[in-house]
Amino acid sequence: MKKLFKNYNYTFDKNEIKILKTFCKQSLKQIEGDNRFYSEVRSFTSILKKLESDDEIIKLTKDESTKLKNQLKQNHQYLKKEVAKSWFVKKMFYRSMVNQYSNILEKHFEM
């Protein structure tokens, strides 16, 4: 039976919060100036504010949760492609980022 309501409360550890903060800041830098991405900018600034607060449980809206999940998935897929193309040192950095993103997606967003 399918759930009627989904809980969008997340408890991230310190490392996950740090990774997600960096991810949100990078996303905002890329899309901030473009008016076509107004809803994404609004969602990511809201997510960033919630991550920067010292709350133990982070409550996201459905829209914020889906946008964060989709962006993380896209970035995860892009990094997987880059790992296949890159050389040794770059591959080490990308591989650790791929592992971190996949852990967050599996643990919190049921990839």
pLDDT digits (tens, 9 = 90+) for 52-93: 998 889 999 999 999 999 999 999 999 999 999 888 888 999
Among candidate residues 48, 51, 67, the one with its CA nearest the CA of residue 14: 51
Query: Is 42 part of any domain?
Result: yes
**Residue 37 domain boundaries:** 10-108
User: Considering the entire predicted model, what is its pTM?
Assistant: 0.87
- Rounded Cα gap, residues 4 and 1, in angstroms: 9
Q: Is 4 domain-assigned?
A: no
Is 3 within a domain? no
Residue 29 lies in a domain: yes
pLDDT of residue 3: 67
- pLDDT over threshold 70, residue 2: no
5 within some domain: no
